[in-house]
């Protein structure tokens, strides 16, 4: 069973969201997602300043198996991206919750309530595994 921290929110497409409490959020991919993808070899980051809608393709994670889109879990503007990942995509495999992909300034904070909590995401992962 993969690691699903209690303090995060999750999207059905396997992104995690950390509410920074100041109108911004940090976004990455879940432990389950990195496990499915396998060894990451490349991460394409969004442009800072890009305005994203929930469900928009925002980044790409590429592993030896496949390239997968990362979707923006909420509406917002990209204010920072994790440049470390350009050289060390494997950091996501090693610590998916420490190695975030981008940060957003929320344009519609109520959307956070629509995301899954840890328990709901755990049952989604469980359902996928069976």
Partner 1 sequence: MDELIPRTQTLIMLIFEHSKSGRRAQAQAPMADDGLSGIPDDLKRKRKPRLPEVSEMQAVRHYTRLSQKNFSIDTQFYPLGSCTMKYNPRACNTLAMLPGLINRHPLAPDSHSQGFLSTMYELQEILKEVTGMSAVSLAPMAGAQGEFAGIAMIRAYHDALGDTGRTEILVPDAAHGTNPATAVMCGYKAREIPSKADGDVDMDALEAALGPQTAGIMLTNPSTLGVFERRIKEIAGRVHEAGGLLYYDGANLNAILGRVRPGDMGFDVIHMNLHKTFSTPHGGGGPGAGPVGVSKRLQPFLPIPMVGTDGHDYHWLSEEQCPQSIGRLSAFAGNAGILLRAYVYAKMLGAEGMQRVADYSTLNANYMLKRLMDAGFTAAYPQRRATHEFIITLKNEARELGINAMDFAKRLLDYGIHAPTTYFPLLVPECFLIEPTETEAKESLDAFIDAMIKIREEARTDAKRVRGAPYTLPVRRLDDVRAARELDLRWQAEEEEERA
The footprint of partner 1 (CB under 8 A) covers: 36, 38-39, 41-42, 62, 64-66, 68, 90, 128-129
* Torsion sign (Cα): 55, 61, 63, 67: positive
Q: In angstroms, rounded to a whole number, what is the distance separating the alpha carbons of residues 15 and 117? A: 12
CB of 98 to partner 1, least distance (A): 20
Q: Which is nearer to partner 1, 66 or 95 (CB)?
A: 66
Look at the alpha carbons of 13, 105, 79, 82 in this order and tell me if their dihedral is positive or negative.
Answer: negative
Task: In angstroms, give the least distance from the CB of 41 to partner 1.
Answer: 4
In the bound state with partner 1, the residue whose beta carbon lies nearer, of 25 and 92, is 92
Residue with smaller CB distance to partner 1, 25 or 46 = 46
């Amino acid at each position: 069973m993969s690691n699903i921290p209690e303090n995060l929110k999750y999207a059905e497409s396997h992104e995690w969201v950390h509410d920074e409490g100041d109108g911004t959020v940090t976004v990455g991919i879940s432990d389950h997602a990195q496990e499915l993808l396998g060894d990451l070899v490349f991460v394409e980051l969004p442009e800072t300043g890009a305005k994203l809608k929930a469900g928009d393709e925002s980044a790409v994670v590429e592993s030896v198996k496949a390239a997968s889109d990362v979707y923006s879990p909420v509406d917002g503007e990209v204010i920072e991206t994790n440049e470390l990942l350009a050289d060390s995509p494997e950091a996501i495999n090693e610590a998916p919750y420490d190695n975030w992909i981008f940060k957003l300034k929320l344009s519609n904070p109520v959307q956070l309530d629509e995301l899954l909590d840890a328990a709901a995401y755990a049952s989604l992962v469980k359902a996928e595994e069976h």
